[in-house]
Structure 1
């Protein structure tokens, strides 16, 4: 009898539906794409595809006068590039505020059935829909889900996971969390992610992964804070393997104002107006490339989709992450560590960062490997302090850091095995004690 019961349980488990195929998305601020042509969009999509990203999540603001052109360009490009898109309706965007049911329905009727719109195959090919906030409009979604046949995974982080999962009679099919950064100077943990999974009781969880956070847009938006982000990108991908969410959403592809963009900087028009409009005291984007965060993405995404098993590595790679000046080199610009507007305790920003050059390498093994960081011609021997989960000698991402000290000049990383260079990173801006407009830039370089 016990054997029969065991077989029945095994059959039920085997027949349990898969919520999702472990897709990875990148959050795109549509309002930052006004300068992009169809060709520009296609280039971005090809870059994203090469990094193994499955779709762009288009953050759409209510009543933006550029929405029609930007959406037309994006969907045209997606068809050409064979890429996917879906909507995150922004209920908190200025100046027009929350979406009404009619606004959501209009966009979903126009684009939800498009071949380029992302659909969740495991849920009967329903179009995926998300939000940025909007829990006060939660009741709208009972009707909207029915009329658009959508799979609804909003971000209602302001409510917390328990209330968000239950609001409007549990209307959500899952939840996305914007809780991607630690309240520093402590490191980010998986506690919030696991709280979401518990609250959702088997519904889909979309986990946030972000590399950095710094914003200095004091006019109108009153934004001028940073969160502790040293090592955050690679740490969060390690945590993805632990949490194993149904989806992952990268924050972000192109949010220049908050310094967590991962796309290559190609057009100053994409962010110059944003910085000027909202009163940035200096341009903290132009000399801060972030494409280094794309290097390991194909590995991380393949590992996530394989249930945490490290895929084979055919090309070893290296990356560098650093700020371009020591924390106390220039005035802090009024930036706080943490955000008091969220009820967080403000701390000096210099307490949130490490004056170090961080590095990482994707290797088949660290056996017989030597690492050297060079700053202005001074070679600094380095070592890995963080190993892959499987330990030394295995395939994965190895990490470490060296102090900036008093060194200035060009920064580079060389990884050798048996005396032969197997990976390197170089070509970023120099480390200096001078700051633009005499204000500290808390943004980071990733090359």
Structure 2
């Protein structure tokens, strides 16, 4: 059984009642989320907040655990961590994993040695996020004190879609220890008071990461390592990746952070929870049953180039990234997904004008499951997304209008959803374990080779990103090209000599004709899996 968790910013809940906590927990349970990771910063007014959280969770049979935030208000003193664990870890709602109290962090690698004593004294299973170090160095800190690792890198770099290269690095170095994979739908922040004003590409991210999580589920050698998925986040409104409901009394970050506007106001993200029961069950068990069909759509209300005067960057130099104009990162498209038991067509209008140039990008192999697509938008006006089956409308989203200028929502997403009337009960024909990859992509030099090799089920996570699964009997593997066969059979050793890489290749004499281009691509594969 793999647990699903959501980071929950406790400082945003300072005005919550028991009823508010209960509502959030009920919504999380409806989405098949197992626990909230309580992000707690040092010096937050925790004793006035946490008792209500633990009471509500205990009443509902829900689980909570601490994620100690070492960045928000500075490092946690060791004794203060101990006080928190003493007070709360034995409460009925606290999450226990393998007989130990589960604890995570947001950063804090300089305090790694504290956890040597804390682990033994409080019987802790310790799974920190020390992403600033990378997986290899994180596992060395505190003499190897981490029992597993959480990775905060949930967003793509620059004008690219999300890949699994960082996941692969963690899985390689963890070598069987538990991995907590991050999944997030979006990232935009403009909080000058916190020195934060950047975005990372969202766009197809919510769909892409669930595909990648499912791929991890089916990939030999890493199935037992990807033990957890953590959704970032439930209620971090200031970074625009919330999937929980909006509360006016939880928006203090916009005032404290001196935001130019409250870019979460009237920008619901609840629709991103609509298909979570299905994809979470799919990840946990390898199969899932559709009991309610539906449609979800998300998009920005302003064109990508409209808000350049706000100073937002794509990527951020604060994390040693090359910065881009936001218009180079985000795509002016309306994105949509549907959970269906049989095929349906999709259409989009903006201001009453049909939008062309898009549609479904991915459909399940047997047409049962999650569909995904997008369409570029032009013009302004109300957005209407319609789902039609057999000539009849079965679901429609009437979304907020897209404007021509920079609106108060800035680069945040508006998310809507609509159910299909009636109940159903249908599962995919085959579980994930009996399906194979039939499509994938790679970046830069990996593109061609991944695009070809993945269609035959060979899609290494360190180099390629799987895009689609299918019944292997319906997609028989053709003869793989000579280059690809040889790449799988080569024994390659990399060494460093005077700053250059030396390749020692063991091939039968008759096969030493291998093309230089294929060798160059394979060399890139090896470097990617070796370097952080």
Question: In the TM superposition, what is the alpha-carbon distance from 1:182 to its structure 2 partner?
Answer: 1.0
CA offsets 1:213-248 (integer angstroms, 9 cap, x no match)? 0000012x1100001111001100100011231000
Question: In the TM superposition, what is the alpha-carbon distance from 1:412 to its structure 2 partner?
Answer: 2.1
Secondary structure (helix, strand or coil) at the match of 2:49 reads helix
Secondary structure (helix, strand or coil) at the match of 2:310 reads coil
Question: In the TM superposition, what is the alpha-carbon distance from 1:436 to its structure 2 partner?
Answer: 3.5
The answer as to 2:136 corresponding to 1:155 is no
Aligned to 2:335: 358
1:387-402 equivalent positions in 2, closer than 5 A: 387-388=363-364, 391=365, 393-402=366-375
1:369-408 equivalent positions in 2, closer than 5 A: 369-380=344-355, 383-388=359-364, 391=365, 393-406=366-379, 408=380
Contact 2:355 2:378 in 1 (8 A): no
Contact 1:154 1:176 in 2 (8 A): yes
Aligned to 2:54: 75
Question: In the TM superposition, what is the alpha-carbon distance from 1:81 to its structure 2 partner?
Answer: 2.0
Structure 2 CA distance for aligned equivalents of residues 176 and 99 of structure 1: 19
Contact 2:355 2:376 in 1 (8 A): no
From 373, 376, 393, the counterpart of 1:421:
393
The answer as to 2:280 corresponding to 1:301 is yes
Question: In the TM superposition, what is the alpha-carbon distance from 1:330 to its structure 2 partner?
Answer: 4.1
Structure 1 CA distance for aligned equivalents of residues 305 and 319 of structure 2: 26
Aligned to 2:469: none
Task: Normalising by structure 1, report the TM-score.
Answer: 0.88
Secondary structure (helix, strand or coil) at the match of 2:322 reads coil
Number of residue pairs the alignment of both structures matches:
407
Question: In the TM superposition, what is the alpha-carbon distance from 1:332 to its structure 2 partner?
Answer: 4.0
1:68-107 equivalent positions in 2, closer than 5 A: 68-94=47-73, 97-107=74-84
Question: In the TM superposition, what is the alpha-carbon distance from 1:387 to its structure 2 partner?
Answer: 2.5
Secondary structure (helix, strand or coil) at the match of 1:281 reads coil
Question: In the TM superposition, what is the alpha-carbon distance from 1:423 to its structure 2 partner?
Answer: 3.0
Structure 1 CA distance for aligned equivalents of residues 350 and 197 of structure 2: 30
Aligned to 1:22: 2
Question: In the TM superposition, what is the alpha-carbon distance from 1:291 to its structure 2 partner?
Answer: 0.8
The answer as to 2:257 corresponding to 1:278 is yes
Structure 2 CA distance for aligned equivalents of residues 355 and 60 of structure 1: 36
Aligned to 2:446: none
Structure 2 CA distance for aligned equivalents of residues 330 and 114 of structure 1: 47
Secondary structure (helix, strand or coil) at the match of 1:78 reads helix
Structure 2 CA distance for aligned equivalents of residues 25 and 420 of structure 1: 38
Question: In the TM superposition, what is the alpha-carbon distance from 1:434 to its structure 2 partner?
Answer: 3.4
Secondary structure (helix, strand or coil) at the match of 1:158 reads coil
Secondary structure (helix, strand or coil) at the match of 1:188 reads coil
Segments of 5+ residues of structure 1 without an aligned counterpart are 1-20
The answer as to 2:410 corresponding to 1:436 is no
After superposition, the CA RMSD in angstroms is 1.4
The answer as to 2:31 corresponding to 1:51 is yes
Task: Normalising by structure 2, report the TM-score.
Answer: 0.75
Aligned to 1:411: 383
